[in-house]
């Protein structure tokens, strides 16, 4: 019970945090001025008109300051309402903006490590940019933007200099934006023309861009070294545009025109940009800018020091994409336009281009392009330069990006195209080890965006229910725990053996105490797939004939990950009855796959492991929408290493060691039993081994939690101080 109480305290931040309830602007400004790390500033439900808010304070990594609505979605800002966020570790949550009269920007996020989440700006109908990301390591997630009809982008990302920003924009719904009729109607603009050489390293992922028709550039990239992945474009009239900036990556996105006029794919201006693992379907390419789904534009030269508005492309990789069933135009144009300088260094590798009615490739090649491993089905439109096999890819009806069992694309991918550039601090799949589904490709990769393999699909086309705030029908708020339930109930299981058909492994999770799973000769194991990553904090085991089985329980978050033991009952002598199961509680841990291994029994001399029920309890809210990647590790994470030796600690100055497998923003925090946090590291660090000395001389003996966060990955352990 003591451990459970400790961990509940940890989850609620610091015990001295204050809830400051405010009903007007005077109280709000006073609350902001008095706020301290861990505080919650709570705005009364209702309409706040002409609320010009400056949220300026300083939280910490372990204890941010949150300004939120009393009830999510029930505080609405109208009129001349603006929000400026400055400072560090601040969170804005649960607000709406509508019916505005603002002339400038509506929401601006500056400072460092600040976040806006579970918010919506809908039909504000005034203002320049609706949301501006400035500063460093800002995050915008689970928000909804719809109905902008004024000039300027819906979202602007400022890229001030060569210092990477490391912003994260994820799980948002960018909904209807009607045509502006002029330039400046982008949904997202990352940088400006004059910032094209500045490094942003923004991660833009798991966003739905639906009917974003403001202008021909849905997303306009105008900075360097950004990663756009796992997004879905639906019925949006325009294109993703690498307008300015080099070394950017467009990876594993869905472009779905769904037969709507003027829907396009990708247009490239700039060098060393990558278009890899994407799916393009049903697009009206000829009626967007240019004439093809993927367009590389000619450029021109500029005097030194001038803004290069249309620079020559020097290097571009187009690989492992599937372009199918476009309703007009071509699949690919690698030399588009009338400017004098054609693209150079273009590599087109391992793509599928397929359409029964349209010519596939624009007949304007320079002859310098590299073609390798591509499959085309239809009218090629050019003399085959080599590197293109004319064949039917045999798509399956379950989705045009999926290839059939006898497809010529299987194992037909070729190497030698160079891979994707690595970007420090971002998780880039440089070798294309995954397909668009997030499934692991085999050593002989399939051509196109899909690998014909079995396994869990973690990336799919997004729908409105997958993104945006919970109060508008989006997924449950991942930061708000749902009811505690038995997560194992009727979930799929795997097992070591199942010798009795009448006692299958599935009976251990069917909720029926009249059934059981039985397997003979120890050890025997059963593993439950929860279907998504959840926080679990308790297990229960009910045994046949109230036996005292001995076992351990291990968890992992991905099918290929490493197990972490959370329960050790290897010396158990407690019976597990229906009325009193063998129960273990522990700190909430992230788990999708939960395995119990029965190793023996106390007081029972037989060899059968017979389990009536194996239950695991946690919040009913998954940490990401079902079917999507876990938000803290969107690809199976490389394991972090974190240790202190010896443990228990007897020294007043123990050394905590950790290893990073890649560069990332790092936070190393020690929590005491009251939930108080001591930050030992808060910095961006390169891959390597690190150590930090913790000054424990003045600390009380007892249990502490050491938590390491590196980018989207986390690891923690208990430390016993007994000096």
Per-residue model confidence as pLDDT tens digits over 464-518: 999 999 999 998 888 887 788 999 999 999 999 998 999 999 999 999 999 999 9
Q: Which residue has the higher pLDDT, 273 or 652?
A: 273
pLDDT tens-digit series, residues 649-692 = 667 888 888 887 776 677 888 877 666 778 888 776 767 777 78
pLDDT of residue 76: 98
Q: Give 3-state DSSP helix, strand, coil % of the chain, rounded to 5.
A: 5, 45, 50
Tokens at residue 86, please? 């400055």
The predicted model scores a pTM of 0.75
Mean pLDDT of 101-121: 97
Distance from C-alpha of 496 to C-alpha of 551, rounded to nearest angstrom: 14
**In whole angstroms, what separates CA 685 from the centre of its chain?**
21
Helix (H) and strand (E) counts in the chain: 2, 56
Distance from C-alpha of 390 to C-alpha of 412, rounded to nearest angstrom: 13
Residue 201 — φ and ψ, nearest 5°? 55, 45
Mean pLDDT of 607-624: 89
* Total Cβ atoms within 10 A of residue 558: 18
pLDDT of residue 633: 28
pLDDT of residue 651: 74
Q: Which residues of 682-695 are buried (b: 16+ CB within 10 A; e: fewer)?
A: bebbeeeeeeeebe
Mean pLDDT of 95-119: 97
Q: Locate tokens 């203002």: which residue? A: 127
Fold of 19-390: Pectate Lyase C-like (2.160.20)
pLDDT at 217 over 80: yes
pLDDT at 636 over 70: no
In the chain, what percentage of residues exceed pLDDT 70?
91
Are domains 19-390 and 484-619 of this chain identical in fold? no
pLDDT band at 532 (very low <50, low <70, confident <90, very high): confident
Fold of 484-619: Jelly Rolls (2.60.120)
Mean pLDDT of 542-549: 98
* Total Cβ atoms within 10 A of residue 425: 19
pLDDT of residue 686: 67
Which helix (DSSP H) or strand (DSSP E) does residue 28 occupy? helix 25-34
pLDDT at 371 over 60: yes
Q: Locate tokens 């803290």: which residue? A: 632
* 216 three-class SS: coil
Distance from C-alpha of 579 to C-alpha of 591, rounded to nearest angstrom: 27
Average pLDDT, the chain: 90
Distances (CA, A) of 195 to 82, 158, 199, 221, 422: 26, 8, 8, 10, 21
> Per-domain residue ranges for the chain?
19-390, 484-619, 641-721
pLDDT band at 694 (very low <50, low <70, confident <90, very high): confident
Which class is 641-721 in CATH? Answer: mainly beta
Sign of the torsion angle spanned by Cα atoms 394, 399, 405, 411:
positive
pLDDT of residue 567: 96
Strands 90-93 and 115-117: parallel
Mean pLDDT of 283-311: 88
pLDDT of residue 68: 98
pLDDT of residue 661: 73
1-15, 34-48, 142-156, 298-312: which has the minimum mean pLDDT? 1-15
E strand residue ranges, 311-394: 314-319, 322-324, 330-336, 344-349, 352-359, 370-372, 374-379, 388-390
* 120 three-class SS: strand
pLDDT at 619 over 90: no
Mean pLDDT of 552-557: 95
Distance from C-alpha of 587 to C-alpha of 566, rounded to nearest angstrom: 9
Residue 711 — φ and ψ, nearest 5°? 65, -120
pLDDT of residue 632: 27
Distance from C-alpha of 109 to C-alpha of 116, rounded to nearest angstrom: 8
Q: Locate tokens 């109480």: which residue? A: 5
pLDDT at 456 over 80: no
Distance from C-alpha of 684 to C-alpha of 666, rounded to nearest angstrom: 6
CA angle at 538 for the pair 536 and 544, rounded to the nearest 5°: 125
Distance from C-alpha of 501 to C-alpha of 246, rounded to nearest angstrom: 60
8 A C-beta contact, residue 290 and residue 361: no
């Amino acid at each position: 019970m003591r451990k459970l109480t400790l961990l509940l305290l940890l989850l609620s931040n610091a015990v001295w945090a204050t809830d400051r309830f405010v009903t007007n602007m005077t109280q709000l400004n006073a609350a902001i001025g008095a706020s301290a790390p861990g505080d919650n500033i709570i705005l009364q439900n209702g309409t706040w008109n002409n609320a010009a808010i400056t949220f300026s304070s300083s939280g910490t990594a372990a204890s941010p300051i949150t300004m939120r609505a009393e009830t999510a979605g029930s505080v609405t800002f109208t009129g001349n309402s603006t929000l400026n966020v400055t400072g560090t570790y601040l969170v804005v949550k649960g607000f709406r903006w509508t019916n505005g009269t603002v002339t400038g920007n509506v929401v601006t996020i500056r400072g460092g490590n600040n976040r806006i989440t579970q918010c919506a700006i809908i039909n504000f109908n005034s203002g320049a940019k609706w949301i501006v990301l400035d500063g460093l390591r800002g995050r915008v997630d689970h928000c909804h933007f719809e109905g902008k009809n004024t000039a300027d982008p819906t979202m602007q990302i400022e890229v001030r200099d060569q210092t990477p920003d490391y912003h994260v924009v994820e799980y948002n719904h960018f909904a209807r934006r009607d045509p502006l009729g002029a330039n400046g109607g982008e949904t997202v603009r990352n940088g400006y023309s004059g910032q094209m050489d500045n490094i942003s390293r923004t991660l833009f992922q798991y966003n739905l861009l639906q009917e974003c028709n403001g202008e021909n550039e849905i997303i306009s990239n105008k900075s360097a070294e950004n990663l756009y992945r796992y997004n879905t474009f639906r019925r949006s009239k325009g294109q993703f545009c690498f307008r300015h900036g080099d070394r950017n990556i467009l990876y594993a996105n869905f472009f779905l025109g769904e037969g709507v006029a003027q829907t396009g794919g990708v247009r490239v201006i700039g060098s060393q940009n990558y278009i890899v693992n994407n799916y393009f379907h049903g697009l009206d390419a000829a009626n967007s800018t240019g004439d093809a789904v993927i367009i590389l534009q000619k450029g021109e030269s500029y005097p030194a020091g001038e803004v290069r508005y249309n620079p020559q492309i020097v290097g571009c990789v187009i690989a492992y994409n599937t372009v199918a069933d476009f309703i007009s135009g071509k699949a690919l144009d690698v030399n588009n336009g009338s400017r004098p300088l054609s693209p150079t260094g273009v590599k087109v590798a391992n793509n599928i281009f397929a359409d029964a009615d349209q010519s596939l490739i624009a007949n304007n090649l320079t002859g310098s392009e590299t073609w390798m491993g591509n499959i085309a089905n239809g009218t090629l439109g050019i003399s085959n330069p080599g590197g293109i096999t004319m064949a039917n890819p045999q798509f399956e009806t379950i989705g045009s990006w999926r290839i059939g069992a006898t497809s010529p694309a299987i194992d037909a991918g070729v190497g030698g195209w160079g891979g994707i550039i690595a970007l420090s601090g971002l998780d880039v799949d440089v070798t294309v080890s995954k397909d668009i589904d997030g499934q692991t490709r085999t050593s002989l990769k399939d051509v196109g965006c899909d690998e014909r393999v079995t396994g869990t699909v973690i990336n799919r086309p997004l729908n409105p229910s997958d993104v945006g705030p919970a109060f508008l029908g989006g997924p449950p708020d991942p930061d708000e725990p749902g009811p505690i339930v038995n997560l194992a109930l009727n979930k799929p299981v795997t097992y070591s053996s199942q010798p009795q058909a009448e006692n299958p492994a599935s009976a251990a999770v069917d909720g029926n105490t009249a059934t059981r799973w039985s397997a003979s000769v120890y050890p025997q194991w059963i593993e439950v797939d929860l279907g998504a990553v959840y926080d679990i904090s308790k297990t229960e085991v009910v045994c046949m004939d109230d036996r005292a089985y001995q076992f351990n329980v291990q968890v992992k978050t991905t099918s290929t990950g490493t197990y972490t033991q959370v329960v050790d009952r290897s010396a158990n002598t407690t019976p597990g009855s229906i009325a009193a199961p063998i129960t273990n509680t522990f700190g909430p841990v992230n788990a999708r796959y939960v395995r119990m291994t029965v190793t023996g029994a106390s007081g029972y001399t037989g060899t059968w492991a017979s389990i009536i029920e194996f239950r695991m309890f946690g919040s009913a809210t998954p940490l990401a929408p079902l079917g999507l990647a876990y938000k803290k590790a969107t690809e199976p994470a490389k394991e972090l290493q974190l240790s202190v030796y010896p443990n228990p600690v007897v020294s007043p100055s123990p050394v905590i060691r950790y290893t990073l497998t890649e560069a990332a923003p790092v936070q190393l925090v020690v929590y005491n039993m009251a939930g108080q946090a001591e930050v030992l590291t808060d910095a961006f660090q390169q891959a390597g081994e690190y150590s930090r000395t913790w000054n424990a001389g003045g600390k009380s003996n007892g249990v502490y939690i050491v938590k390491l966060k590196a980018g989207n990955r986390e690891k923690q352990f208990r430390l016993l101080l007994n000096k």
